[in-house]
Copies of this chain bind each other. A is one copy, B any other.
Amino acid sequence: MPQLPLPPGSTLGILGGGQLGRMLSQAASRLGFDVVILDPEPNSPAGRVSHSQIVAAYDDPEALTALGRAADVVTFEFENVPAASIERLAEAGALVAPGPTALRVSQDRVDEKTFLNAVGAPTVDFAVVDTLDDLVVGLTELGLPALLKTRREGYDGKGQVWIHAIEDAPAALESLGGRPAILEARATFVRELSVIAARDWDGHMAVYPLGENRHEGGVLRTTLAPAAVDEKTQVRARAIAEAILDGLDYVGVIGVELFDLGDDVLLVNEIAPRVHNTGHWTQDGCVCDQFEQHIRAVAGWPLGPTAAHARIEMKNLLGDEVDQWRALSAKADERLHLYGKAEARPGRKMAHVNRVLGTV
């Protein structure tokens, strides 16, 4: 096992070569680290700004062995890394952060909610759905409408369906293709918040100010941060984030999505064991952004400061919205971050822009 903190010149491995991997790689290189990307897509956005890329599937044993040997620490930009891959990396001598517990818990929505409730982080009520009977019982208990999701995988609103009437239950279940599912009660929230937080190998934690998020069709459109919340809400969110980080014995940055029900009641919608789209505002609002924070945490460096110096509106540019780059590039208060993706497929995250609203 490598000695921590990792000195500059060490190598960081990243599973996943998309925009999150790209921005992690850029942060790592500012701190003097070399980066190796593993991604099946040749010439990936992250691979193009990194020392090298291994082009292979995430469960390719030889590729994982090679990555584990090349890298002193391995991290990932997405949470659906097979558990066997993590074991293979550890066998090849690499540290892996976040660790297997965080991955296992966040890969299954039932395990996740069970864990959250156990550490005092409340969620909506839910029911495990394996059969149509389970679903009908669940709908009766949780009320209508309710949200049916696959237990595993799915992101940005994929693999989920709202059920508004009992008679729609069979079709809804069928739309998930027979995969194990979870039924979630509807949360009547006044707004969606999220908190980005980090924990290092020694258990120190650092929590950024809350962001307020707006989704469309299950996809994040904007984050406004720091969110205009009262001190009580900020304190409550921090306590929830810290309970989750400690409960998972977590190392790295985590994203925690929250429903604000009003009256200082926060429910956890979901957690993402990685840097998070709702934390992109930190690039232009904080001295140490979420990407550097994650690198610091996994490399065993002290965590950086999380205070905001500017109020930011982060906006995702999806598909051909990226064509706005020309107009946006002329605005002194709009900070463009482009991901180097060639094809602007509809809905694809191509870039984001941080609008500086003022100092904090």
Contact = CB atoms under 8 A, between A and B. Distances in A.
Nearest to A29: B49
A219 interface: no
Nearest to A47: B51
Interface string A3-26: 001011100000000000010011
Interface of A: 5, 7-9, 22, 25-26, 29-34, 48-51, 284, 287-288, 296, 301-302, 304-305, 309, 322, 325-326, 329-330, 332, 335-340, 342, 351, 356, 359
A296 B330 CA distance: 10
Contacts of A33: 340
Contacts of A330: 302
Contacts of A340: 8-9, 29, 32-34
A25 to B, nearest CB: 8
Given A26-B30, A30-B337, A48-B29, A5 B329 contact: yes
B329 A302 contact: yes
Nearest to A8: B338
A267 to B, nearest CB: 32
A325 B9 CA distance: 12
Contacts of A31: 336, 338
A332 B305 contact: yes
A184 B50 CA distance: 45
Contacts of A26: 26, 29-30, 49
Contact of A49 (B50, B301, B335, B342): B50
A177 to B, nearest CB: 36
